[in-house]
């Protein structure tokens, strides 16, 4: 049962509409062309009132995926649905524009078919107080919704999946998403609670807030996801003095995440040959980041922020402690090693008695998990190793949209 509180209008800040007075742009809408360029760094703050109920945000019981690979996930990670396939996406909430000369309120609507998904990765999964602090920050803004989370103690890494809408100005440019202030608040909580010099785990990482990626959902565009990624990167780089590297659609030339990570030494373990511990890189980066300073805080590290179409994350347990064999298998599965196109892999230690092939499927509609699973099983058999059925670490896009719509509908009831 979802608890609600009495109706309260919540006032949220917006970034500048290209320094255009709000009253001069009366047709704020969520429809129109989705060019969504990065907005100027302005401190002018037009204000909007959200007139739908803003209840205290409940904990979505059942969404926490606390195990390592014992959790149940959907059998398929399908493609993004078209608007015709998702009738519930046309749900709307009322928006009131405030600030015109006559004080007259003009009712607008937030189009819930234009959604952005954020996957927020932090280098912590063992300290419950830290996880609680990050989650509390995520729940400060009821317009953003946590739809899923995944904690892996062996990797000492956690991921939060959040969804919210996008607003546009009268020219169709994206100007506001609640995700911006939510993600920045989560980053602040993580930087305050995580000291990368004291961190260790079996998964590579470069930062306390290691990776933030935005995906378009429903009728949202990749341009809108890129706009939000760049806005969040500027906030995190400037506010917390953290070097930020943009990737994929958020990068000026589309530079991919794995290439940037490789240049920065992400994939090289620095402890026991298969673990990542503390900070052993230079305090001065070999290249300029896209945002923030070139000098690195050893406690905070570096953050990667990008935007791209949906990516499927799928991990396959190997019943062996031989990490060298896992790495050989991973390389032969990956596109980089001559394996499956658009598939990236890592062979990692996962607990005391197993290893794992961590897979990133960049185009899951072209190369799906069945092909990846079959290829891993074939290669493992040649090594004389047994393989378990793989598992997803997140919901499919369809399930994420459905969960988001269910949660916001429950809040209004």
Determine which one of 52, 69, 168, 203 is catalytic: 203
At residue 82, the 3 state secondary structure works out as coil
Q: Cβ(108)–Cβ(96) under 8 Å?
A: yes
Q: CA triplet 220, 248, 223: central angle to 5 degrees?
A: 25
Does residue 52 carry a catalytic annotation?
Answer: no
Residues annotated as part of the active site: 203
């Amino acid at each position: 049962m979802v608890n609600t509180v009495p109706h309260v209008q919540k006032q949220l800040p917006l970034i500048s509409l290209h320094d255009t007075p709000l009253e001069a742009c009366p047709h704020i809408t969520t429809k129109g062309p989705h060019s969504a360029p990065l907005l100027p760094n302005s401190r002018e703050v037009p204000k909007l009132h959200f007139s739908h109920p803003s209840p205290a945000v409940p904990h979505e019981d059942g969404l926490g995926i606390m195990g390592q690979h014992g959790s149940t996930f959907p059998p398929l990670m399908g493609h993004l649905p078209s608007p015709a396939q998702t009738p519930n996406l046309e749900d709307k909430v009322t928006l009131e524009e405030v600030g015109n000369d006559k004080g007259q309120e003009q009712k607008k609507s937030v189009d819930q078919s234009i959604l952005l998904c954020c996957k927020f990765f932090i280098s912590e999964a063992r300290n419950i107080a830290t996880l609680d602090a990050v989650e509390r920050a995520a729940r400060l803004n009821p317009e953003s919704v946590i739809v899923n989370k995944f904690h892996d103690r062996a990797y000492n890494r956690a991921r939060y999946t959040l969804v919210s809408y996008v607003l546009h100005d009268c020219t169709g440019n994206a100007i506001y998403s609640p995700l911006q202030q939510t993600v920045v608040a989560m980053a602040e909580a993580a930087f305050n609670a995580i000291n990368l010099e004291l961190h260790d785990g079996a998964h590579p990482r470069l930062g306390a807030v290691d990776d933030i990626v935005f995906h378009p959902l429903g009728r949202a565009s990749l341009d809108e996801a890129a706009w939000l990624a760049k806005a969040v990167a500027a906030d995190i780089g400037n506010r917390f003095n953290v070097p930020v590297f943009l990737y994929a659609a958020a990068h000026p030339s589309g530079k991919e995440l794995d290439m940037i990570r490789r240049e920065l030494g992400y994939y090289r373990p620095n402890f026991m040959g298969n673990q990542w511990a503390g900070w052993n890189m230079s305090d001065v980066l070999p290249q300029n980041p896209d945002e923030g300073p070139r000098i690195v805080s050893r406690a905070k590290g570096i953050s990667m922020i990008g935007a791209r179409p949906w990516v499927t994350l799928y991990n396959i347990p190997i019943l062996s402690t031989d990490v060298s064999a896992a790495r050989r298998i991973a390389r032969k599965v990956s596109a980089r090693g001559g394996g499956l196109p658009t598939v990236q892999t890592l062979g990692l230690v996962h607990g005391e008695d197993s290893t794992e092939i961590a897979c990133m499927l960049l185009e899951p509609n072209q190369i799906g998990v069945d092909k990846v699973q079959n290829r891993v099983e074939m290669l493992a058999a040649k090594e004389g190793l047994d393989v378990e059925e793989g598992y997803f670490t997140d919901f499919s896009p369809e399930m994420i949209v459905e969960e988001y719509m269910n949660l916001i509908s429950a809040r209004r009831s």
